[in-house]
A and B are shown apart, each in its own frame.
Chain A
Amino acid sequence: MPSTNDWINNPLGVVEEMFGASQNSSDSGWEAKVTEFFRQRLMEKDAHTWVPSLNDVPLHYLKPNSLVKFRCLIQDMFDPEFYMGAYDTVDPSTKAKVLRCGKYKDVTECGVDLDSANMVTSERQTFYCVPIPGESPWVKEISSCVVDCFYASTCQARVVPSTSYVPSRQKRSYEDDDEDDMDTQPQAQGHAHNGTPAAAEAQGNGDSKRQETEAPSGQKASSPPLDLNFPLPGEKGPACLVKVYADWDSFKLNDTMEVYGILSVSPALSALSDQSDTSSSLILDPAECMETAEELRVHSPPASLVPRLHLIHTQRLAHNNPLLPPAALEDSAASLASTLGEMVSVRAELLAYFTQLLLGDVLAAEYLLLHLISNVYARRDVIPLGKFTLNLSGCPATAGPAYTEQLYCALQQLVPSAYRLSMTLQNMNQLRLVPRKDYVANRLLSGALQLAANTSLYLDETQLEQGQLDPAGVRNITALGNVISWQKVDYDFNYHQMEFPSNINVLIASEGRSLLPSDCHVHLQPQVTPPNMEAYLGSALTAQSSSQLNKFRLYLTMARTLDYSISEEVTKAVEDDFVDMRKDDPQSISADDLHSLLVVARLLCLSLGQSALSTDAWSRAKHIETLRKSRSEPQGCLNGNEP
């Protein structure tokens, strides 16, 4: 049996061993055996933490053909490809034929006998995967820490076994400065949000260190830099072509998952490596002239930038919170029971924290909490259930963008992935929100609304000034409206549109009522007016210890994934209540109001760790809804049209 060392460092050895064994016996199920073997290995305690992660370790520290993992989102699906599943090679000197296995590999061994009768053609699917868009810095930090502490003891997977390497530090390669100067591309990929608001601002006007520069290769100097097609501007990290060998129909676009696979970085994969060499034969070889240069670039990018990963095992991620086991909650219910007990107290602490952030407004703080644990848990024909878009109006504008920015920072520290879209006119007119199919390069150009489930989208409407929206801007606003009302994004396929369901928590910060629709509108009523807003919020932010923050993070993810039901009696009570309210004043409550009441009641229960609606929670929901409505009445919109 191969040792631990082997299955991580040389997984292909394991595969070949099993393949070889299957040739002698007539047993054909070797493929299943391989996946089962790796699944078993990874199931072992902590075994998955020994596998180096592409998210944290730069590519050049990873050993080719070793087992790596990658936490990612499926950004695009390429066409299926046929490959040689098994083939014969002929040794030119001895003429000896050897049967080889082509699975989990990109390039064949030398001397393939194309006419061999043993050749088996198989099919596999390629997905273009990017790191989860908008992943908060703390998520990256914690998951790389987990990896790091294991490196201290078992660093055999790395080529350079030195421990001097710190994963969080980004290497700057020598060509950085050149790139800075020559970068004139309009959609410059700004650099990461490293937690400071300045980074978020930088997109669009060229903080121009590009992600390519992280790859230490100098081969790209002549051609324009490759757009790695991240959904959000300013993302970094490796993109990856994941080759899937089985069951690819079960994957959906925008799924998040952790992939365990064999890393392949053979330089032969780069389509552009020796173009001048091949151009002479291009004319006559029909196999090669069918694709445009763009398409080749996109579908066969240099492996040093976009490594290939041959998938062996996947773990679907219900969330990307590293503090919680990634599996569905039922499996680990026992270990989380203690946390469940603490939920009420954590909730109170979190509420106090939010109250402080929202300048002493308890009601707004409560709604913010409910918003953060909302989740589209089902769809009934076209209606997404459980969405809870919050419009926080009355954000103090006098302090400039500082307040909304600080608020975003605070939220980003709590949720696993978030993105702040500052709704300036320029952004609305120029940003690409909706993904669009590029038929020349034959890929899906990503847009800012291609987000993983439960990503917090923070729309800063205080930045919006008067001016003209061009057609693109109108389309962007419509797209945002669609996300909020129907939780769907219509991807633009030029000849037609295709609808993809989304599950994005949208929070709109505005001065007056937002121009976008929302499920719930809370007007902020500050109780305190700190003279220096920035200092006030800054101190509130720093006052939280990291253990406290971790508790909050755990709480928010937990509350979201809890089960929920309504008993018969409560249903009855709710019905009676509704009928009574209507009897008094039919105008006071409509069907829509009941909808939102039910959502609020559900979220209230979940926030308290309860999994069934109680009459208490129902009356509490009614209470806070009344409070909220009485607040928005004075400046509620009177033209009465549906938003």
Chain B
Amino acid sequence: MSSPMSTPGGKRGRPSNPSTPASEGATSPPAQRRRGQPSSNGDLPLMPTSPPTDMPDPLQDTSLFSSPRRSVLPSEVDMSSPLMYGTPSSRVDGTPRSGARGTPARQRPDLGSVRKSKQVDLQSEPSAADGAAAAEQPAGQRLVIWGTDVNVATCKEKFQRFLQRFIDPSSKEDENSCLDLNEPLYMQKLEEISIVGDPVLNINCGHVSSFDAELYRQLVCYPQEVIPTFDMAVNELFFERFPDSILEHQIQVRPYNALKTRNMRSLNPEDIDQLITISGMVIRTSQLIPEMQEAFFQCAVCAFSARVEVDRGRIAEPAVCRNCNTTHSLALIHNRSMFSDKQMVKIQESPEDMPAGQTPHTTVVYAHNDLVDKVQPGDRINITGIYRAVPMRVNPRQSNVKSVYKTHIDVIHFRKTDEKRLHGQDDENEQRLFTEARVQTLRELAAKPDVYDRLSSALAPSIYEHEDIKKGILLQLFGGTRKDFSQTGRGNFRAEVNILLCGDPGTSKSQLLQYVFNLVPRGQYTSGKGSSAVGLTAYIMKDPETRQTVLQTGALVLSDNGICCIDEFDKMSDSTRSVLHEVMEQQTLSIAKAGIICQLNARTSILAAANPVESQWNPKKTTIENIQLPHTLLSRFDLIFLMLDPQDEAYDRKLAHHLVSLYYQSEEQLEEENLDMAVLKDFIAYARSYIQPKLSEEAGQALIEAYVEMRKVGSGRGMVSAYPRQLESLIRLAEAHAKVRFSDKVETIDVEEAKRLHREALKQSATDPRTGFVDISILTTGMSATARKRKEEITAALKKMLQSRTKTPVMKFQQLFDDLRGQSETAITKDQFEEALKALCDEDYLTISGKTIRLAT
């Protein structure tokens, strides 16, 4: 085993000058640097001075760690060079093995799937960089891999130091949850590998970068050379520590989260052959492609066998058998050839990354070996890999090439971005969204005393007035703090605020909904008229290609962590509405169909709009009567607003002015007046992911007082005007208001605003039109207390009347109605009469058949 200090060039006995421009490497665009070899899809890093014959013959090529079964030319093969690392020829011997020497290396097609031994014309390389390279590195370690400024030994040493020393106490990643944060992170991971036996070490490039910026730069610029070096370093370290552990193959290092590129759109020729990380959505995966790595030939005459490694996608078929010298006698034996798995994955830009008015870009990605079938179409993923470009041949037999390259990414690491949502955390995407400067502006904005008013007026500026409604929606956008009481058996408390808007047609309810839908990243917009229960929840579909049953999610599940806007709520069928019950309180969706029983998260806020049944809002009726929605559903809304025409001159004037100005102001003028939508979006996203306010002591007291007060209001008149649900609403609203202020504590002012808003909404929606008092039972039971009392009175009167005339057990409906009306001093409507009859019917006092009423005997 060669020592880590041995230099790759040393065994070749030539102190080579680093012919690669170290000075250039860091600064000049890689596209220029690599222009000499744009077709170098994974060409081997060559020694600067090695003559072409120096390249190991594929036949003799062997792995560093495999048992030297076949004879090689040891003097020609540099054991410590990454060149030799991980060739496929190592096969598992039947013998028990342990330690680095016994563990087979596994080829990494992701680093260089197509081998190419290109001749290097040193004369054409600029030599200006020699001095710089030499100056950078101490004498004796000046050897670098050709084409890079990477010195294998230094690189290895640095990486081992990184593994042994790197500690990240601030780590928040869930995958590190069971590790001790004060111990070296990656040493613990190695230990994990020794226990679990999964020989893959994922390295966060962010960690490397914070530990050693130079190493990180090398990793990003020359992944093809540096990652094998890392592999070597890890394996040495691992088997030193755990000499007895047995792994399937040697540990492979998989870096992720290279900060270089985030967006598919920003990929350009300079990124070729560099380590990049991009996010996107999988749109298609191909079948598994067996890719030949090594061909096995057998001579038809003497049965002599020969192995040929695939070079640049081609196999050089030996023309002459070396044993018997027969020409053209070798035949390919398929089942003794070596294949590796390969899969083509197409990814598409995620919709958030795209500029408006353009179509998403797509990129081809190749997954190799165990990364095959790791992702499914529809997954949102972050991919770390090496960007490649290969020239296209018009016809393989012509030298004429199309002047266009094909690009793809050889994937090294997949990371699903939506995986985390299962754990109830926000996307890491969202968290990384903000630059320092942006956070600064947002914080400044939040520190302003009038931030709440500013934001609410920035919300849908084209819609006039309705300040309280906008404030309500603003609080809905922020949401409360998520609390987990599942340990005490209560489950999660809902943090989402639900709002119902009802009111006259033409009061721009739909526009508000559209605005909100456009504002939030995970918003869904449906219309009650056009959606079925299935469209809202989830349905089972047979994939036409795979014949697999798949669960397709509907609007409610899709807007998990977002807002589901439902227009024309009143026109929804009852069965559709019933699915909302669970969603609106438990925030889950249970599905039991087609053999699939599951519970999906649907932590969505609901913003619904409903029209009154009689087209115009009837102020003489209660909310329930006006919109005819079941009260069980209504009580699940935190805020119910009426959007009514105020019919007031000053309002009209302001409205007119607002509308007229809308029609002739230029875009720029409008921009100045209001916060723009992007700031608002960022503000909300930031507050949602970073601010988690908790109730302070006095806020708690204030809430208790507020609740007691609300209960008191009604109790004087024998009515209940608040239920625990209202208290929960108050808490949510107060928390949301604290979020607006970017405050970690809910304070009294938050409670005050929550109270005010809640009262405003109640005043509008729960006022008993008969008495003018706020009566929450309208919303909770569908009937105001006075109405209930009245109903009892009428029933009693009717019963009395019927008792007085037991002689005639059969009566006409109309006649009885007239009689009762004659008796009563207050007017009785037909509805009330019918209700009273029904109540008596329920008591089994009478039976109704058609228009005749029969007393029960």
CB distance B660 to A598 under 8 Å? yes
Q: Which of B346, B394, B514 contacts A382 (CB 8 A)?
A: B514
A284 CA to B515 CA in the complex, in Å?
52
A112 CA to B406 CA in the complex, in Å?
17
On whether A287 and B392 interact (CB within 8 A), knowing A385-B662, A642-B505, the answer reads yes
A122 CA to B514 CA in the complex, in Å?
42
Residues in A whose Cβ lies below 8 Å from that of B313: 284-286
CB distance B510 to A642 under 8 Å? yes
A254 CA to B357 CA in the complex, in Å?
8
Q: Mark A94-117, 1 if CB is under 8 A from B, else 0.
A: 000000001001111011101111
The answer to whether A289 has its CB under 8 Å from any CB of chain B is yes
Residue of A nearest to B518 (CB): A382
On whether A592 and B357 interact (CB within 8 A), knowing A108-B402, A284-B313, A290-B364, the answer reads no
CB distance B506 to A592 under 8 Å? yes
CB distance A641 to B611 under 8 Å? yes
The answer to whether B57 has its CB under 8 Å from any CB of chain A is no
In chain B between 89 and 129, which residues have their CB closer than 8 angstroms to a CB of chain A?
Answer: 113-114, 118-119, 121, 124-125
Residues in A whose Cβ lies below 8 Å from that of B289: 289
CB distance B611 to A642 under 8 Å? yes
CB distance A478 to B404 under 8 Å? no
Chain B contributes a number of interface residues (CB within 8 A of A) equal to 102
Q: Which of A108, A117, A284 contacts B400 (CB 8 A)?
A: A108
Q: Which of B354, B359, B402 contacts A106 (CB 8 A)?
A: B402
In chain A between 492 and 522, which residues have their CB closer than 8 angstroms to a CB of chain B?
Answer: 493-496, 498-501
CB distance A579 to B656 under 8 Å? yes
CB distance B403 to A565 under 8 Å? no
CB distance B663 to A602 under 8 Å? yes
Residues in A whose Cβ lies below 8 Å from that of B462: 380-383
CB distance A578 to B652 under 8 Å? yes
Separation in Å of the A82 CB from the closest CB of chain B?
A: 4
Residues in A whose Cβ lies below 8 Å from that of B664: 564-566, 613
Residues in B whose Cβ lies below 8 Å from that of A284: 292, 310, 313-315
Residues in A whose Cβ lies below 8 Å from that of B670: 380
A592 CA to B405 CA in the complex, in Å?
56
The answer to whether A543 has its CB under 8 Å from any CB of chain B is no
A382 CA to B364 CA in the complex, in Å?
35
The answer to whether B363 has its CB under 8 Å from any CB of chain A is yes
Which among A287, A592, A595, A602 has the highest number of chain B CB atoms within 10 Å? A287
A594 CA to B651 CA in the complex, in Å?
14
The answer to whether A253 has its CB under 8 Å from any CB of chain B is yes
Separation in Å of the B758 CB from the closest CB of chain A?
A: 27
Residue of B nearest to A583 (CB): B649
CB distance B405 to A121 under 8 Å? yes
Residue of B nearest to A380 (CB): B462
The answer to whether B204 has its CB under 8 Å from any CB of chain A is no
Q: Which of A79, A120, A382 contacts B362 (CB 8 A)?
A: A79
In chain B between 1 and 53, which residues have their CB closer than 8 angstroms to a CB of chain A?
Answer: 31-32, 35-39, 41
A430 CA to B304 CA in the complex, in Å?
65
Binds B, one of A47-55, A209-217, A273-281: A273-281
Residue of A nearest to B667 (CB): A378
The answer to whether B546 has its CB under 8 Å from any CB of chain A is no
A439 CA to B286 CA in the complex, in Å?
12
CB distance A115 to B511 under 8 Å? no
Residues in B whose Cβ lies below 8 Å from that of A84: 38, 391, 403, 405
The answer to whether A245 has its CB under 8 Å from any CB of chain B is no
The answer to whether A222 has its CB under 8 Å from any CB of chain B is no
CB distance B406 to A287 under 8 Å? yes
CB distance A495 to B281 under 8 Å? yes
CB distance A115 to B402 under 8 Å? no
Residue of A nearest to B34 (CB): A121
Q: Mark A583-599, 1 if CB is under 8 A from B, else 0.
A: 10010001110110011
A117 CA to B461 CA in the complex, in Å?
58
The answer to whether A123 has its CB under 8 Å from any CB of chain B is yes
Q: How large is the interface on A (under 10, 10 to 19, 20 to 34, 35 or more residues)?
A: 35 or more
A431 CA to B406 CA in the complex, in Å?
36
Residues in A whose Cβ lies below 8 Å from that of B210: none
Q: Which of B315, B389, B656 contacts A82 (CB 8 A)?
A: B389
Residues in B whose Cβ lies below 8 Å from that of A575: 653, 656-657, 660
The answer to whether A80 has its CB under 8 Å from any CB of chain B is yes
Residue of B nearest to A382 (CB): B514
The answer to whether A442 has its CB under 8 Å from any CB of chain B is yes
Q: Which of A83, A108, A493, A574 contacts B660 (CB 8 A)?
A: A574
CB distance A591 to B359 under 8 Å? no
CB distance A81 to B405 under 8 Å? yes
Separation in Å of the A555 CB from the closest CB of chain B?
A: 23
CB distance A253 to B358 under 8 Å? yes
The answer to whether B395 has its CB under 8 Å from any CB of chain A is yes
A427 CA to B647 CA in the complex, in Å?
45
Residues in B whose Cβ lies below 8 Å from that of A269: 402
A366 CA to B781 CA in the complex, in Å?
54
The answer to whether B195 has its CB under 8 Å from any CB of chain A is no
In chain B between 268 and 292, which residues have their CB closer than 8 angstroms to a CB of chain A?
Answer: 268-269, 272, 281, 283-284, 289, 291-292
Residues in B whose Cβ lies below 8 Å from that of A574: 656, 660
CB distance A287 to B390 under 8 Å? yes
Which among B360, B392, B649, B663 has the highest number of chain A CB atoms within 10 Å? B663
CB distance A114 to B39 under 8 Å? yes
Q: Mark B489-516, 1 if CB is under 8 A from A, else 0.
A: 0000000000000000111101100110
The answer to whether A582 has its CB under 8 Å from any CB of chain B is yes
Which among B37, B284, B364, B656 has the highest number of chain A CB atoms within 10 Å? B656
On whether A591 and B401 interact (CB within 8 A), knowing A119-B38, A442-B346, the answer reads no
The answer to whether B661 has its CB under 8 Å from any CB of chain A is yes
Separation in Å of the B751 CB from the closest CB of chain A?
A: 31
Which among B113, B393, B571 has the highest number of chain A CB atoms within 10 Å? B393
Ordered by A's residue number, 30 sampled pairs between the chains whose C-beta atoms are within 8 Å are A81-B404, A82-B272, A84-B391, A105-B403, A106-B404, A107-B394, A112-B399, A114-B391, A116-B36, A117-B124, A121-B389, A122-B269, A123-B268, A249-B355, A253-B357, A253-B358, A281-B396, A286-B390, A381-B460, A381-B518, A439-B346, A440-B284, A444-B359, A574-B656, A590-B507, A590-B645, A598-B659, A598-B660, A641-B505, A642-B611
A284-B313, A578-B652 known, 9 other contacts, Cβ within 8 Å? A249-B355, A254-B357, A381-B460, A382-B514, A571-B657, A575-B653, A579-B653, A586-B645, A586-B647
Top 8 closest pairs, chain A to chain B, by CB: A640-B615, A252-B357, A578-B656, A575-B656, A380-B462, A82-B405, A121-B269, A566-B664
